[in-house]
Structure 1
Amino acid sequence: MTQDKQPVICVFCGATPGNDPIHLEAARTLAFELHKHNVQLVYGGGTTGLMGEVARTLVSLSGPKAVHGVIPRALVKISTKSNGNGNGEIAPNGAGAGKAAERVVSEAMAEDDGIPESEYGVTTIVPDMHTRKRLMATKVLEGGPGSGFVSLAGGFGTIEEVMEMTTWNQLGIHKVGVVLLNINGYWDGLLSWVRTAVQQGFISTENGRILAEARDPKEVCGKLLEYHVSSERMQLNWGEE
């Protein structure tokens, strides 16, 4: 029964910490909320920035099986250097490396389809970005009440991911909530664009509510649990989607 299933929340966020420590604090607080509500986390599988912070914090609270990372092979770097944390993970050389790698592991940890349990949870390696997003979405849709998508601060990749899941909702591919965690007004510009698109007739008023806003990590789980689908979503048959 779906009611008995654990909620699964996919978190989109930056692989860098940003310039304001409030974003790292929000990532940690969100992890505490996920632990409090017995939520399974699905995320992009990286160990740096906000991405690494939310995963590592939740693993420390709920254990490695509470976190499932999904990362494309191109974003995994294999290193032969010795490591200092005992689990085969190599500490990244700072957060300014951009998209050179989101995960650095030793040769001993490298497997064809995954990385063994670590302080960042269980990790699946996939061939490309499309497979990554599809698998993360599948995990969410298999979850119980309160499952959905949440976005912390991030860059191009983060906004692309959250907007795709918003579009999928509008198209009727899924019916779970999508929440922007709007810390210090980070997403004000995007929310303003949604309002403008509604005013100018490119998004209906009802569909303009698909993308919800939370200003505090403590609001996130409640907003997803109370989410109601738009009455103007497209009624399309997506088969196995």
Structure 2
Amino acid sequence: MTTLKKLCVFCGSSSGRDSRYVEEAKALGEYLASEKIQLTYGGGSIGLMGAIANAAYDEGQNRVLGIIPVGLCAREISGETVGEQIQTKDMHERKRLMAENSDGFVALPGGFGTMEELFEVITWQQLGYHKKPIGVLNVNGYFDSLLTFLDEARESGFVSEEARNIVLSDDDAERLIGKMRQYTAPRGVIEQEFQG
């Protein structure tokens, strides 16, 4: 059983066109607050990032940590960070600190940045650099085509069965966290290389 005391959430700085995206971001934030799970996120208060951060903060009763590069700190770009803020020199340092300040990762709907962050932690686990659970909250079927792509990559021989199973998914926040708590990571490529 994986203990989740700190959860890193990747998500859009936009709210998207469907109100369900914001509703589900808030629901995840409220669930984290009810479970006293620290939210680690990209900082700011706009879009889905702002929705989850405000919900998770729970009037100051739950820890929220925003990690944001100095160049994005201007209020007109990202809004004011909810909770505690760490400023980094660049995106690479931001992602490293987000990973260090989490016991698992969840992706909500988002754009290029969300996908890049999600695939980086998937790759890190495939290689064996961490064993933290990774989930996608599939709001309104947003990740359906991505999950289909992962299945096709497995069927085409580019992703192993074990690696495909790294990505957990559900359309309900509480169920997704439950799956993440039950997750056991496969042996990474590095472990397989050295342990045979």
Question: Shared fold (TM-score greater than 0.5)?
Answer: yes
Shift of 1:235: 2.7
For residues 159-207 of structure 1, give each alpha carbon's deviation from its aligned partner in whole angstroms, at most 9, with x where no partner exists: 0001100000001000011101001110011101100010010011111
What amino acid does structure 2 have at the position aligned with 1:74?
Answer: G
Between the aligned partners of 2:143 and 2:162, the Cα distance in structure 1 is 20
Between the aligned partners of 2:5 and 2:58, the Cα distance in structure 1 is 19
Equivalenced residue count is 191
Q: Does 1:194 align with 2:192?
A: no
Q: Does 1:234 align with 2:189?
A: yes
Please identify runs of 4+ aligned residues in structure 1 that moved more than 3 A: none
2:174 to 218, 226, 237: 218
Q: Does 1:37 align with 2:35?
A: yes
Partner of 1:76: 73
- Percent of aligned positions with the same letter in both sequences? 39
What are the ranges of 5 or more consecutive residues in structure 1 without an aligned counterpart? Answer: 78-89, 93-100, 105-117, 141-146
Please give the root-mean-square deviation of Cα atoms over the aligned residues, in Å: 1.9
CA contact (8 A) 1:166 1:210 kept: yes
Larger Rg: 1
Shift of 1:213: 0.6
Higher helix residue share? 2
Partner of 2:120: 164
1:136 to 74, 98, 101: 98
CA contact (8 A) 1:75 1:103 kept: no
For residues 25-80 of structure 1, give each alpha carbon's deviation from its aligned partner in whole angstroms, at most 9, with x where no partner exists: 001100111112220110001210000111111112553x6100000011011xxx
SS in 2 for 1:201: coil
Between the aligned partners of 2:163 and 2:21, the Cα distance in structure 1 is 28
CA contact (8 A) 1:6 1:38 kept: no
SS in 1 for 2:153: helix
CA contact (8 A) 1:17 1:50 kept: yes
1:50 to 48, 51, 65: 48
Between the aligned partners of 1:58 and 1:34, the Cα distance in structure 2 is 6
What are the ranges of 5 or more consecutive residues in structure 2 without an aligned counterpart? Answer: none
Between the aligned partners of 2:36 and 2:60, the Cα distance in structure 1 is 8
